[in-house]
Amino acid sequence: MIWILSIFTLCSANASGLKTNFSTKESYDLLFGEDSTIHATTHITNIIRNGTEDLTTSEIKNLEQLGILSQNREISTFTPNDLVQVFESEHFRFHYTNEGTNAVSDPNYIFQMAEVFEEVYSFYIDTLNFSAPVSDPESDDTLYDIFVENLPTYYFGITYTKNTSVSSPACVSYIKMRNNYNGTQFSEHTELENIQVTAVHEFFHAIQFSYNCYERFWFMEATAVWSEDELYNNVNDHYRYISSWFSNINKSLDDESSHMYGSFIFFQYIDEHLGGPNTIRLCWEKSHELASPIQDNSIESINAALSDLGSSFEETYLRMRIANKIMNINAGLYSYEEADGYRSAGGYPLEKDIFYQKGIPQEDTYLSLDLFETIYYKIRTSDPVKIEIIPYENNLSMTSIAKLKDQDQWLIKSGNEINIDTEMDLEWITLLISAIGFEENNWDYTIELRDGFSEDFSLKKPFPNPSFGKPITINLEVINGQEIATTIYNILGQKVWVHTKNYTGSQFNNLIWDGLNMNGKRVSSGLYFIEASGEEKTLRHKIIFLKDE
């Protein structure tokens, strides 16, 4: 069985402006030189997209072992001609054999695989409403083809694209699965678990190809790894990417080395805090709308999806980077449900130590921070410290995280100048510098550390503001124990709501105002003022309360 990919498509893809972190030669070397398990789809697709001009004659010949023919810059893909047995389930057609190199020793293996693929289909297509893989117009039915064969030693599975004429930017695909997962290289999981994570990973690639056949590999692989845990939450094969990803935390989120597999954590953060798996589907729907063979729109697609939910790529990216340091199940907006598992797998960012002593200014310079990279600093000091980033640019974001000792509470500040008051009983202080925006660039910066000051207490900006019918959260960060009265006034200066508390030591406190006055009646929409008064100072913020009509 031979399927032809035309020379026209190859030229078009090869001329594209889509960037990758690896050439077709590097893909070839990974496909034939790896001595550990590999997801081969990315590298097969890279060769199909960009051709074999970088390869030698013998290397091109070796591609035939993977079902790829290249003659006169024309690429064709093929499957073994000895897969004479066929089993059909509701949505899939499995091609296999009971004899020879590609033999399946037990027919129950195929039946088990079919059950898994149907489970994957039901979950992602029927339940979560992702688009099904586009049907092959050259086929007599809509069944999706899966070929079960003796893949190279370290391959889980492969999803191939075809050049059958369908509406752009979609493309037809098919999957190759192993005829067994008995090797020691797969021994961390049972055979069923290996089938499960491979089936969901490769089928999610098939789904992706139905949305956008041009999409960048980092977006494809990060969401494919995310899809594994979304359905098979207890297998945790994705944990194997965590240690390497956090050890290279300064790499860009859209880096397309093996780092991209660990970037699933970005989409996991979106899943948990911004609308669940429906938002991941929306990201792919936006990818379909913005698809281009000559321009990378991966970040723009995600940003468009998040904008529909009142957020943005930049905001989500920065929050994810904070969550990656805190790594706690009780951190609210910065939590992960599997934080304990991530941490046990190596989920803690590497940090550069900076020691600060009162009266001795310090500075640290970093050169060429790439877009969507983040550098973490461990600030070691017992004295209040003020930190400034120079130069201050919109593309550089500075955030500090200070954890209260023996409490699941964290003080988070952002800006080009941050004061950290160590009179609070702090367990650790971390500083994050991130490059954000949509400009392809890199940046040099210097952080300067000088003597800081005691803040007594602080009143953070209330949120949401305007409220749009939601309760308003008021954050108080108390450094020195004292009584603090928090009062809300209307524009006439009349008291609407009062909360008084005696704080016995350093702590954070979230107050919630639900729009009711002291008589329990809902106030009118309009402008209000929050005032927090302690022993030494008074702080104020404006809020706009809007009732849910």
Confidence of residue 16 (pLDDT cuts 50, 70, 90): very low
In tens, the pLDDT along 135-152 reads 999 899 999 999 999 999
Question: Does the pLDDT of residue 17 top 70, yes or no?
Answer: no
- Residues 367-385 have a mean pLDDT of 95
Verify that 318 and 371 share a domain, yes or no.
no
Q: Where are the alpha helices (DSSP H) in 236-312?
A: 242-247, 259-262, 264-273, 277-289, 298-307
For residues 20-34, give the mean pLDDT: 88
- Predicted pLDDT at 86: 97
> Both 361 and 393 in a single domain?
yes
| Rounded Cα gap, residues 320 and 273, in angstroms | 10
Q: What is the dihedral of CA 241, 242, 248, 250, to 10 degrees?
A: 120
Query: Residue holding tokens 């020195």?
Result: 480
Tell me, yes or no, whether 537 and 511 share the same domain.
yes
Half-sphere exposure of 41 (CA within 13 A, CB side): 32
- What are the tokens at 46? 């890279």
pLDDT tens digits, 349-358? 999 999 999 9
151 domain-assigned: yes
Q: Which of 323, 344, 365 is the last residue of a domain?
A: 344
Is the separation of the CB atoms in 366 and 433 below 8 Å?
yes
Q: Are residues 265 and 318 in the same domain?
A: yes
Nearest to 205 by CA among 163, 238, 170: 170
Does some domain include residue 34?
A: no
Let me know whether 438 and 503 are in one domain.
no
Q: Which two tokens stand for residue 8?
A: 């026209």
For 335-375, write each residue's pLDDT tens digit.
Answer: 999 999 999 999 999 999 999 999 999 999 999 999 999 99
* Same domain, residue pair 366 and 425: yes
**pLDDT band at 549, cuts 50/70/90?**
low
- State what percent of residues in the chain have pLDDT above 90: 77
Residue 73 domain-assigned (yes or no): no
- Domain assignment present for residue 518? The answer is yes
Looking at 217-276, list the stretches that DSSP marks H as alpha helix, in order from N- to C-terminal side.
Answer: 217-231, 242-247, 259-262, 264-273
Q: Which of 324, 344, 364 is the last residue of a domain?
A: 344
Q: In 3D, which of 325, 317, 366, 322 has the Cα closest to residue 342?
A: 325
Residue 232 lies in a domain: yes
The band of 480, judged by pLDDT with boundaries at 50, 70 and 90, is confident
Would you state the torsion angle of the CA atoms of residues 340, 342, 346, 352, taken in this order, to the nearest 10 degrees? -90
**Which has the closest alpha carbon to 354: 414, 408, 400, 417?**
400
Identify whether residues 100 and 176 lie together within a single domain: yes
Same domain membership, residue 436 and residue 503: no
Q: 405 and 515 share a domain?
A: no
Is residue 358 assigned to a domain?
yes
The CATH number given to whatever domain includes residue 447 is 2.60.120.1050
Mean pLDDT (whole number) for 295-302: 96
Of the segments 4-13, 227-236, 250-259, 387-396, which one has the largest average pLDDT value?
A: 227-236
- Look at residue 18 in the predicted model and tell me its pLDDT: 60
User: Are 435 and 490 contained in the same domain?
Assistant: no
Closest listed residue to residue 244, CA positions, set 347, 322, 152 = 347
The SS3 call for residue 42 is: helix
**Quick check: helix, strand or coil at residue 298?**
helix
Closest CA to 162 of 129, 139, 131, 196: 139
Report yes or no on 250 lying in a domain: yes
pLDDT of amino acid 470: 86
Q: What is the pLDDT of residues 206-264, one digit of tens each?
A: 999 999 999 999 999 999 999 999 999 999 999 999 999 999 988 999 999 999 999 99
- CATH label of the domain that carries residue 535: 2.60.40.4070
What's the mean pLDDT when you consider all of the chain?
A: 91
Q: The domain that contains 145 carries what CATH number?
A: 1.10.390.10
pTM of the model: 0.87
- Please write the tens of the pLDDT for every residue from 54-105: 999 999 999 999 999 998 778 888 888 889 999 999 999 999 999 999 999 9
Contact call for residues 79 and 102 (beta carbons, < 8 A): no
Q: Is the omega angle on the peptide bond into residue 391 within 30 degrees of 0, that is, cis?
A: yes
pLDDT at 19 over 80: no
Q: Are residues 399 and 447 in the same domain?
A: yes
Domain boundary among 289, 311, 344: 344
Domain count, the chain: 3
Domain that holds residue 124: 78-344
Is residue 12 scored above 70 in pLDDT? no
Residue 224 covered by a domain: yes
Q: What is the pLDDT of residues 411-443, one digit of tens each?
A: 999 999 999 999 888 999 999 999 998 877 889
Answer yes or no: do 480 and 518 share one domain.
Answer: yes
Q: Is the pLDDT of residue 490 over 60?
A: yes
